[in-house]
Amino acid sequence: MNALLRWIGYSTIISLSFQLPLYAQEQPVVKYASGQTDSARLRNVSITANNFEKAGIPADNEANADAFDEDVYFEKVADLDADGKKHAIKPVVNLFKEGRYKSVTTEKKRSHKFYFHLANIFARLKMYPLAMKCYFKTLQSDGNNDIHITDTVTLSNYYNTPPQDTSIALLNTRTDTSVNRLLTINNRDEQILLTADTNNYAYTGHEIKSKPEEVCNITDPFDDGKKAMAYALLIHISQPVSGKRKIFVKLSKVGHTFITLIKYNADSTSVSRSFGFYPKKDHFLSATPLFPTTKSVFKDDELHGWDETVGKFISERKFRKILQVIKDYDQKKYNLNKNNCTDFGLNLAGTAGIKITDTSGSWPFGHGNNPASAGQSVLEGKVLNIDSNYNLFICNDLDLKP
């Protein structure tokens, strides 16, 4: 009889575990681009004029104005932005091969729109250093050294809610005008784009699992001995169901939250790392509502998909503090209810000055911050810039299938 009761008890626990979600997925639930490489990896490859030819790109990136229709060019860029789910780099490369982009950036208001579209495109292509470079260009105003733009939430067409009242934040660059020259699209960036195109940087639907990463491989590359000119952080949120507060689907489709850190150097190189906080399972039921606490592990999320991204330029002081928080997390346990991937992401984002509200939800036998709630709050405009030095870049890559 006792053996029978034990068998029934174990069967019940195992049955429940299949019905309750794992919080940070152990298996990929988002389709990634096969062969796709984060711009950080490409930037670490030495490319010189002797081993790379910029086919089709005029040396000065200028074109004959008589043969160029600016409106058509802008329409192409806007169409690429609207059709970002294809995650294809070739149309972007083709635009740069035309050598026109500098021709369309002479008028400030129009150049802001142009760079805004490019920022969204590069973010969806997971080329985050380029994305934030382009976003920086949207912040620059004409006539003075202050740069500004409103937040970039533009999803009112998907929801029956009025447009968000966005605030304006200022970024003062008087103290170091070289930053403006540094954070521009340069020859190295063009080479990265064309190299990525040559290496078949394309969305194929293949699933790639994020691999474990030692904390030193996340933090140490930023100490490269090069003078830093700017720093940025992005928080990425992958919802279980795009555009909904549905906390889990079936077994382990529960979404994920992860971070990208970027350091821009004075020599026009950059260092970028994308990573997340995961459970390292002690046994089959680890990191489930029945056994919420387990060991933790960092994983390389450079190829991980997302639905919402919020980015911001930050100070060196905050950047160094974030690196220390990451090192501290290397010693912490993962807990489904109070120290999960979203808690980690929100902690780092908060250190950078990004606060997302209404991020908590409940599930059987537990509750806490989660990707579904955090992502939906971004869509609903529940994102605060808790300091006034730098404004927020907000980009969405939703799959809004019925």
Structure tokens of 335?
A: 């807990």
- Per-residue burial over 27-49, b if 16 or more Cβ lie within 10 Å, else e, is ebbbebbeebbbbbebbeeeeee
Report yes or no on 116 lying in a domain: yes
**Cross-strand pairs, 233:** 261, 312
Distances (CA, A) of 372 to 73, 265, 269: 37, 35, 35
Residue 132 contacts residue 262 (beta carbons within 8 Å): yes
Q: Can you tell me the distance from the alpha carbon of 302 to that of 152, in angstroms, rounded to the nearest whole number? A: 23
Out of 3-17, 71-85, 165-179, least confident range? 165-179
Q: Mean pLDDT of all residues in the chain?
A: 75
Minimal CA–CA distance to 384: which of 293, 287, 312? 312
Q: Can you tell me the distance from the alpha carbon of 24 to that of 251, in angstroms, rounded to the nearest whole number? A: 11
When divided into structural domains, the chain yields a total of: 1
Given a cut of 70, whether residue 215 has pLDDT beyond it is yes
| Residue 237 pLDDT | 98
Structure tokens of 192?
A: 């990265």
Mean pLDDT value of segment 11-27: 47
Report yes or no on 10 lying in a domain: no
Domain of residue 195, residue span:
21-396
| Residue 279 pLDDT | 95
- Helix or strand holding residue 157 (H, E): none
Number of C-beta neighbours around residue 367 at 10 A? 15
pLDDT tens-digit series, residues 62-84:
434 455 677 788 888 888 888 65
The string of DSSP letters for 302-348 reads TT---SEEEEEEE-HHHHHHHHHHHHHHTTSPEETTTBSHHHHHHHH
Given a cut of 60, whether residue 232 has pLDDT beyond it is yes
- Per-residue burial over 142-159, b if 16 or more Cβ lie within 10 Å, else e, is eeeeebebebbbebeeee
Q: Which residue has the tokens 């105003």?
A: 141
Q: What percent of the chain has pLDDT over 70?
A: 65
Positive or negative torsion for Cα 350, 352, 355, 360: negative
Report yes or no on 106 lying in a domain: yes
Q: Are strands 354-356 and 360-363 parallel, antiparallel or unpaired?
A: unpaired
Mean pLDDT value of segment 212-240: 96
Residue 395 contacts residue 115 (beta carbons within 8 Å): no
**Cross-strand pairs, 383:** 356
Report yes or no on 14 lying in a domain: no
Positive or negative torsion for Cα 253, 218, 343, 242: negative
Backbone angles phi and psi of 306, in degrees to 5: -155, 160
Report yes or no on 219 lying in a domain: yes
Q: Can you tell me the distance from the alpha carbon of 370 to that of 21, in angstroms, rounded to the nearest whole number? A: 12
Report yes or no on 13 lying in a domain: no
pLDDT tens-digit series, residues 130-156:
999 999 988 854 333 333 333 333 333
